[in-house]
Structure 1
């Protein structure tokens, strides 16, 4: 029984260390998300909630690190009460990360900002002249129209200067051919891919940590009961 308890302690310490590493990676991801905002996005106010997402990642990463340190202290003190609290904290973090993963996954699959949707509607309105909203996205994402640059040709409109590299449409090769809808979804997927992978990594180890903690608490209880019985 003592060997089993000692093994569970070692396993839980390793899991806590891995979770702490995951927390550091979350903080790094949050900082990277803030730094990756282009100057044009900041000027146009098109961060699409990335500031909030980055802050949440940094906060969550900090909480995960603190929880991991708490778990290591609980193991060192051999306290059932502290270990039970640690298991509850791990389950709570697991739920929070699963919710954040669901939101991130949904955003990468379907969501388009209202401003971009309005820009697409204005593009197909033959009476509408100019499209500053869509033009901003075209210049930022290096795209043209909703589906491709052919949208302008189908509507018998001249491609906007924002559809061309350096706003120079005198050269055909400067024209962006990709559509803005696909480009925006590609942009969001690129930003969320690392977070989704990291979330699953932490979810699995937090689940393993909570289960191991429960086994350790039970093992400590049985070990102490045996000592009392033989004494």
Structure 2
């Protein structure tokens, strides 16, 4: 039979891993809010990741205390709150997964702002064009219809001597795909964290049972 100390170690280790994943989700949410001008939909997505992370860390602290003190009362309280939290987290993650495309589209709206700035102040799009390997908002044609030639950043290796070097992909779709990839990656992290929390709840039940058995044996 597995000893109480071994079960306790498993509880603490898996709880620690959950906390690390939670910190990653919090960092991503803060990155979105602090690095870009996001609209209401983008903000909701960012706060959802922060909420997932913060609640996991808070509940994990209770789990750590219960395991460290080998307290049945504290551990049972932790398991109860964890299951309530899991239901909420599963619902939030489900909405995040379902709304990936919508959230990515809204987060990519920053590029529309950059394009408007480009029309008034040439060079505003250069960062996106260099970073994403794209040209214009939807295509190089966006420059032409505005009586401008595509800038050097619209050409491969900055070489505008050959027409075939002109990049035909617009930055809007590239930036949206960038966000879609990020959101999918962090949704996977959220799902892994929830799966580990489910595992922690099972291990915590085993810990609770083991502590009770130890207490019973101590009476004899």
Moved over 4 A (4+): 110-113, 135-146, 160-166, 171-176
Paired position in structure 1 for 2:44: 52
Q: Distance in 1 between matches of 2:45 and 2:102?
A: 18
Paired position in structure 2 for 1:193: 184
Aligned residue pairs, count? 197
Change in Cα spacing, 1:160 to 1:95, as seen in structure 2 (3 Å) is farther
Q: Distance in 2 between matches of 1:225 and 1:85?
A: 21
Asked if the contact 1:144/1:163 (under 8 Å) is kept, the reply is no
Deviations 1:135-188 (A, max 9, x none): 659968866687x668x9xxxxx734699559x9xx878976335774464143
1:206 aligns with 2:197: yes
1:83 aligns with 2:82: no
Deviations 1:194-214 (A, max 9, x none): 321320221121011001011
Runs of at least 5 residues in structure 2 that lack an aligned partner in the other structure? 119-124, 155-159
Q: Distance in 1 between matches of 2:56 and 2:17?
A: 10
Q: Distance in 2 between matches of 1:96 and 1:162?
A: 51
Residue aligned with 2:3, SS: helix
Asked if the contact 1:143/1:163 (under 8 Å) is kept, the reply is no
Superposition TM-score, scaled by structure 1 size: 0.65
Paired position in structure 2 for 1:128: none
Asked if the contact 2:90/2:194 (under 8 Å) is kept, the reply is yes
Runs of at least 5 residues in structure 1 that lack an aligned partner in the other structure? 117-131, 153-157
Residue aligned with 1:20, SS: helix
Change in Cα spacing, 1:15 to 1:86, as seen in structure 2 (3 Å) is same
The two structures, once aligned, show a CA RMSD in angstroms of 3.9
Superposition TM-score, scaled by structure 2 size: 0.67
Q: Aligned to 1:222, which of 196, 213, 217?
A: 213
